[in-house]
Structure 1
Amino acid sequence: MTEQFIPPAGHAQAASAAAGAAGATTAAAANALTHVVDLPPTAGAEPPRAVRLKARGGDRVFLTVLAGSGILVLTVIAVIGGFLGSRASQALHAAGGGFLTTAAWSPGNGTGRASSFGVAGILTGTVLIGLVAIVIAVPLAFGVALYISEYAPPRLRPFFTSLIDLMAAVPSVVYGLWGFLFLEHRAVGVAHWLATYLGWIPGFQVTGARVHDPLAPLTVYTASTFIAGTVVGLMITPIVSSMMRESFSQAPLGEREGAYALGATRWGVIRTVVLPFGRGGVIGGAMLGLGRALGETIAVYMIISLVFRIQPHILQAGASSVAALIAAHYGTATPFELSALMAAGLVLFLVTLVINLAASAIIARSRSGRDSG
């Protein structure tokens, strides 16, 4: 016989009332939710406003000074370009399109067919000197920057940083004297070795040199693109190293610690975190150094012997540079020759401007550039 529990009447009515109340509450909540979701948008409602911080006091002054400085820099660049263009108009009109393709430089007075001048030769020499400087400066600056930011003891890093930055304060004429009096006579042996064993490379050939004759004079290797580029490379090393060091030092600490936590060594952290983060700084620093090398004047002028032809042999005596050309002929130039020098300076100005703008764009698009901005 099965027993069945029958609650008292009062309890049954209370339970039924509670269930009914709970059901009513659930239904009301469902209806209210449906009502909220289906509520049509209010007519004339304004969209959410963007929150903008308003500069006040010192911030407004700082932003004004910053904007004014940027406008001033752009104005100065435009004035320099306009000045060079106006002074070079006479020579550019006389030379025509051949100004960029002619290697000879004999502007004369601008009359007759005897005048033949262009920047093909001197611009080629300028670019070659800059490339030699970059080949020497970038590995040296890269190693210095990596050592200071990652391997040097923390207490010695400020000293090393100041020591490298101090090289940028040395006047260019001192570098030129050092290159002419000390480096040139010692670098000819390196140039002779390169011409002897790497002469099969087109740029390392030396016309008329007897590379296998021990009694042959070494004067064919002096005043060359190689020596001038070496001196300029040492001059731009602090600039390139500073850019790379700042880029390496900004690598995120969280990513560094995460790599260490996964068992990476110090070189593993550098390879997977620091170098990818600082890639833009390395490229941008190299391009900024190239722009600086292209415009170097006194040090190059004291070392090279000017030749007005396309000279692709970097180890051979004789080189050319736009800045050195202007320094050598500015004092004795006639009005037309001065216009031709201004035209050469305008070409150099545009080339360096394009290189610096490209370097700035690369730095701005990199992670280190975005974080520093």
Structure 2
Amino acid sequence: MKKTIYQYIIAGMFAAALWSCKKDEVKTIAQPGTAPALSATADTVILQKDHAGDNAVTFKWNASSFGFNGVVKYSLEFAKKGNNFATVKSVTADTLSKTLTIAELNTIANGLEVDNGVLANLEVRVKAIISNNYQAAYSNTQQLVVSSYLDLIDYPTMYAPGDYQGWNPAGAVKVVSLKSDKVYEGYAYFSAATTTFKFTSTDSWSGTNYGGTSAGNKGVLSTTGDNLQITGAGYYYLTLDLGSNAWSATATTWSMTGNAAKGWGEDLDLTYDAAKGLWSVTADLSAGEFKFRANHAYDINYGDNKPGDPFLNRDGGNIVVAEAGTYEVTLNLGIAGNYSYTLKKK
């Protein structure tokens, strides 16, 4: 009898253990996320740089459920209308709403390469995700029309104060590092037969100041060196390399070359206006293409990789003249790194 009771007890304990093991195997499986409902406080926003810090638009949405109480991460995705979000700019959100300033929305619009100063159609949606290994949930698409402005790119900057402007770093010619690689460049017009200057790391004398040697409008930089010197009046391409401590100044004149002008390899010369700080020419152009180049050579040349803005790119794509006619062409190299042009039909 006792043996039978013990057998029942052992069998009961085994069944309980087995039930416990099965209970431990219960797993929570995420379900497809529900689509958030997205809304916006505005459907058209005119972006103006003077109001860059103002709020532009607020987006709100409800929570997406994946079937359990896990952490859901949200982001807003922006795309040009009609490309099915093939190319997007994303902004993360810590809550169920996101307010963007004029400057933030303008950065998004420029990142999508919309044309500045005209109304552009964007699409916005919310992306909800619990893991990169699990399918995201997306909201409805919200239409947004914006008119963006062109914002200059801020590059690491140095200054070139000298006798040409009273040795004032804050008002001096700037040189910038386009790749943040300690190599700086910029353009400047010097009217005197001899110009002396230094490079400074800030817009005052309180930073690191560079002089050095000067021979043939180039030399070696030194923090304890003499003033640098450029011989000859002209429009100069300035470079300095803090890695090798080399500097140089190359005198330049500018022209257009291409089948829209006088032909590839031929030059339509521009004239420099020191008062305006611009190179320009008014000429009859053919339908075709051209580039700007220095000194009738391709060593320093600029094209346009993004016709939607006026900025030039070193060794960039050909600039298109869509229709023959008389054009006023200007070239502005005075804002370091943000080189630009205009092409206006008369």
**TM value normalised by structure 1:** 0.24
Structure of higher RCO (CA pairs closer than 8 Å, 6+ residues apart): 1
Greater percentage in strand: 2
**TM value normalised by structure 2:** 0.26
Greater percentage in helix: 1
